[in-house]
A = this chain, B = another copy of it.
């Protein structure tokens, strides 16, 4: 192996990482050649074969843009704080309806996205992602992550993950006990509730947190 070969392979690896970071998919052989100043697609292929042989990348034969970098086991950089928890400066209240006087970005108090949000039974919580708009009036929209606290009985009107064994299905609704049956009520005025015999319903957990990503 010549020095130039080794240098070029390192250049290719560096380029691959940068390209995949920036684009979310891998480059073509021609992209790589342009990046390192080599016109020959067969030479690039030769180099990639070498990287494959060294277990640095994988390729699927004849499949465009199928290069993958074999990553070392290095964990995500930059976990904050000694305890690994994420701390965010907390600046207090922001009034969405009226501007409020706060100093810009001066927070010293922090909020921790950790177990303290949930109290003692945090270890038992489970999460589901919402599909659909039936709970829109509870400000729970499609794609939201909902965190539930396992509970077999909840108060009338609370929102819960409800398992319907006869249907083999789980749904998120407001739950109302009405004698021998249960009303599962969407929080969406355009949708009708549906009714199930109380014996055919298992409450799995009640909603304790809703998380929505906004991009």
**Which residues of A line the B interface, CB within 8 A?**
23-26, 55, 58, 60, 63-68, 70-71, 74-76, 78-80, 83-86, 88-102, 104-105, 107, 111, 113-118, 120, 122-123, 125-136, 139-147, 150, 159, 161, 163-164, 167-173, 186, 188, 191, 202, 204, 206-215
Contact = CB atoms under 8 A, between A and B. Distances in A.
A104 B111 CA distance: 32
Contact of A209 (B89, B136, B213): B213
A159 B99 CA distance: 14
Contact of A105 (B126, B146, B206): B126
A95 B139 contact: no
Given A86-B118, A139-B140, A96 B65 contact: no
Nearest to A31: B63
Nearest to A80: B123
